[in-house]
Amino acid sequence: MKLFLLLYGLSVGAFAAFMFPEKTKTESIEAGAEIYQDFCVQCHLPTGVGVSGVFPPLKDSDFLRNNIDMSIAGLKYGLKGKIVVNDEEYNGIMASQGLDNEEIADVMNYILNSWGNSYTGQITTEQVELISETILPTE
């Protein structure tokens, strides 16, 4: 019986992995690089430094490091209002870019592992899926 359950569990897991394959971290970062070039680069710039006081930096950003879930929510739903990044205040609007959950995971993995940023884990599609709008700051 135990063996059956184990096999059952394994096969369900394998089926799920087959149906919803998660990229490896390297694949995800690679896909994220393309999303970044299409959707992010105009404001946050190719080196992730942003524009002081206007578009917050993604490179070496304390806000991003300390608020990964909120950053994901910002990508999903848009982010507006006052935030403080590396002791500088930003009060702009980032509109939702209309990316799907997988694209958000990919671009997060790219950002979290570029320009000297490093993140030991991997943002997964499922993790993005579970994040709701409620964690965003309310005005």
Cα–Cα dist 87/11, whole Å: 50
Does the footprint of another protein cover residue 116 (CB under 8 A)?
A: no
Q: Do 73 and 131 meet the contact criterion of CB atoms below 8 Å apart?
A: yes
Q: How far is the CB of 133 from another protein (least distance, A)?
A: 14
> With respect to another protein, which residue has the nearer C-beta, 17 or 51?
51
| Residue 134 C-alpha from the chain's centroid | 17
Closest CB 91 distance from another protein, rounded Å: 8
Binding flag, residue 96, another protein (CB under 8 A) = yes
In whole angstroms, how close is the CB of 131 to another protein at the nearest point? 19
* CA distances for 59 relative to 30, 53, 55, 129, 138, angstroms: 17, 15, 12, 25, 26
Site residues for another protein per CB under 8 A: 38-39, 41-42, 45-46, 51, 54, 78, 80, 91-93, 95-99
